[in-house]
Amino acid sequence: MEYKLTTPCGNCPFRSDKPFYLHPERAEEIADSILNGSPFPCHKTFEYDGPGSADIPGGEQHCAGALITLERTHSDPTLLLTLARLAGVYDPDALNFKAPVYPSVEEWLSNTIDLHHGVHPSQVPATGAQRAESTVSGERVT
């Protein structure tokens, strides 16, 4: 995996200025994966072989949007990023932090649009348990 991309592409899933449609389960998988230090290749650097499979040739690039979001989320980088930095293949100072990317993985996760339902999470009616929880926390949930 290479770390040469410094700015998210036009349809990067981590851009905050464009809606991104993703099933909630897949969004959770991605968030857990990158927060636990797994690499996340840019979708433009590998080839899809068909539904559920992809060919990732050598030289794939880590997603710049994911890197920026991770750097904003954590003051301590993941082990993968620490090793990449020590090896001289990753320079967080080269990232374009002015790019429209979410300030945290958690905020990205809460703003992905549920492809299955076609709605933003804030538009999904709250369940009884969510209403009870919001009453305790003081949030207003409809």
> What are the start-end ranges of the E strands in 39-135?
47-50, 53-55
CA 72 to chain centre: 12
- The residue written with tokens 């710049």 in the block is 64
Residue 120 lies in a domain: yes
Residue 3 lies in a domain: no
Per-residue pLDDT at 19: 83
Phi, psi of 24 (to 5 degrees): -55, -40
Domain count for the chain, please give it.
1
pTM value is 0.73
Euclidean distance between CA atoms 107 and 104, whole angstroms:
5
| Domain containing residue 62 | 24-137
Tens of pLDDT, residue by residue, the chain (142 residues): 899 999 999 889 999 998 888 888 889 999 999 998 898 989 888 766 655 555 555 668 999 999 999 999 876 778 888 899 999 999 999 999 999 999 999 999 888 866 555 555 555 554 443 433 333 434 433 3
Residue 45 lies in a domain: yes
Residue 126, both tokens: 């709250």
